[in-house]
Chains A and B, each alone.
Chain A
Amino acid sequence: MTKPFEPMIIGFTCNWCSYRAADLAGTSRKKYPPNIRLVRMMCSGRLDPVFVLEAFSGGADGVMITGCHPGECHYIEQNFKALRRVLLLKRTIEPLGINPQRLKLVWASASEGNLFAKEVETFIGEVRDLGPLNWQKRAMRNDLRLVESLPEEVPV
């Protein structure tokens, strides 16, 4: 019997709003699926697009970036930088074959634990509908030196 597909989501949250929102979701016992792995950054503007590509190439099925609401960034306007980077990155990964819907940007303030949990749940559902990306396994086949060491089937 094959196991149902459980998407692996990497979440990048900013220290000042959206990580606090995740914290609040936890302390107020909000439940959401455990598919997301959160990585805390000081600011969504710290998000180097390479983090996202590294996540996809390393086996993530979706990447979620969360930041403070526009105008509320702890570092004045760096969340706008994150917004621009995400919009450009979506355009860049689409021709490479990654559905831009696998990348999502969400604004969440420190008081929005409910919203954070809901957004995570929605995104996991969206990625589950898109199916596994499995980039790591596919791309590794392009590296001849790695092909020989690769097991026949990499568990999803």
Chain B
Amino acid sequence: MSENGKPKFAMYWAASCGGCEIAVLNIHEKILDFDANFEVAFWPVAMDAKYKDVEALEDGEILLTLFNGGIRNDENEHIAKLLRQKSQIMVAFGSCANEGCIPGLANLSPIESLFETVYNTVSTENEEGIRPQSSYEMPEGTIHIPEMYPVLRTLDQVIDVDYYMPGCPPESHQVAAVVDLVISVVKGEAVLPPKGTVIGAGNSTVCDECERTRNVKKIKKFVRIQDIERFDPEICLLEQGLICNGPATLSGCMAKCPTSGAPCVGCYGPGPRVLDYGARMVAALASVIDSRDPVEIEAILDGIVDPAGTFYKFNLAHSLLKTGKASWNGN
């Protein structure tokens, strides 16, 4: 509790893009309700704060922490553990913290090739071949920068997480609903859901929220969105041969992408009782291919250009296999 009697709030970004912070600000005037009920203790994107300020807090002094981003380096890990210690409620906020998201796709490559891409490609001006070093001797003393880990880990692979809030980023109406819930809990008007609950999402799949017409699916050819001039605006995108991840994806976004003509990419993560997102997509797509001939099936499957990247776009770091073999090196 702060001096003005308001419970404390923290939000941190680890390996993420910053879209989650924008999603929070995107709740519009509700942010005023939020400000009226919470004291921001630590939110590097929104206001100045130092790590030592957080370290100075009592354990459990922060009521609510929204943590977005995966754990990619030792700074991320340190802050995750620190905030866990200082917070009563830790929410894995957004796809990166939940399941790795796009930064998690780097788990398909060894760390050396990541550095190679960033510091040594044709378009990079780095004639001296400078690479980041985690510590460097200066006349004034040794300076440190965070050391990158060989793989990206999700938040719950590093610390204990109370609630999961999926989405890339979480939809603003869902953020607003969660904010409302927490405020009413603070006021004593509601109780928190059981630990480990997925909050701010539906309990079905994107297909259930999608308003497109669904018939029996028989796919003879997979196409990419740029390959075809015009799609039927009413019919299910998967039926038209587009790879839509709706069948495996948790609902809660009101099926915004498929409704507006873009296939679902799966940012809300695995749906209820889906153990492995990619496996569910393999099962779903293989079931609707209309062929019994191995040669023809292979030809149809050629239309899925990047199966691992398509089925694990958001979920690789939290899949059953957790990572690609390449990133084992050095781990």
Name A's B-contacting residues (CB within 8 A): 48-50, 52-54, 56-57, 70, 77, 80-81, 83-85, 87-89, 91-98, 135, 138-139, 141-145
Interface residues of B in 247-298 (CB under 8 A from A): 275-276, 278-280, 282-283, 285-287, 289, 291-292, 294, 297-298
Distance in Å from the Cβ of A116 to the closest Cβ of chain B? 21
Interface residues on B, range: 35 or more
Q: Which of B294, B317, B320, B331 is within 8 Å of A53, CB to CB?
A: B320
* A88-B286, A138-B331, A143-B157 as given contacts; A54 in contact with B320, CB under 8 Å: yes
CB neighbours (8 Å) of A81 from chain B are 286-287
Tell me which of B57-65, B123-131, B301-309 binds A.
B301-309
B interface residues, Cβ below 8 angstroms from A: 71, 77, 107-108, 151, 153, 157-159, 275-276, 278-280, 282-283, 285-287, 289, 291-292, 294, 297-298, 301, 304, 306-309, 311-312, 317, 319-326, 328, 331
B108 pairs with A96, CB closer than 8 A? yes
Chain B contacts for A93, CB-based, 8 A: 308
Kindly report which residue of chain A lies nearest to residue B291, judged by CB atoms: A84
Secondary structure type dominating chain A contacts: helix
Residues of B within 8 A of A95 (CB): 108, 306-309, 324
Q: Are A92 and B278 in contact (CB under 8 A)?
A: yes
| Bound Cα distance from A48 to B277, whole angstroms | 12
**Is the beta-carbon distance between A49 and B294 smaller than 8 angstroms?**
no
B323 neighbours in A (Cβ, 8 Å)? 139, 142
B307 touches A91 (CB 8 A): yes
Beyond A49-B283, A81-B287, A144-B158, is A91–B301 a contact (Cβ under 8 Å)? Answer: yes
Please tell me which one of the listed residues A50, A139, A143 contacts residue B280 in the complex, with CB atoms under 8 A apart. A50
CA distance A93 to B287 in the complex (A): 18
Task: Give the residue of A48, A77, A84, A96 whose beta carbon is less than 8 angstroms from that of B308.
Answer: A96
Select A145's contact among B157, B279, B309, B319, beta carbons within 8 Å: B157
Which residue in B157, B275, B287, B312 is a CB contact (below 8 Å) of A50? B275
Q: A84-B297, A95-B306, A96-B325 are in contact. List 17 more A-B contacts (CB 8 A).
A: A50-B283, A53-B279, A53-B319, A70-B292, A83-B297, A84-B286, A84-B289, A85-B282, A88-B282, A91-B304, A92-B278, A92-B307, A92-B311, A95-B324, A97-B326, A142-B157, A143-B322
**B326: chain A residues within 8 A (beta carbon):** 97
Question: A109 to chain B: closest CB distance in Å?
Answer: 18
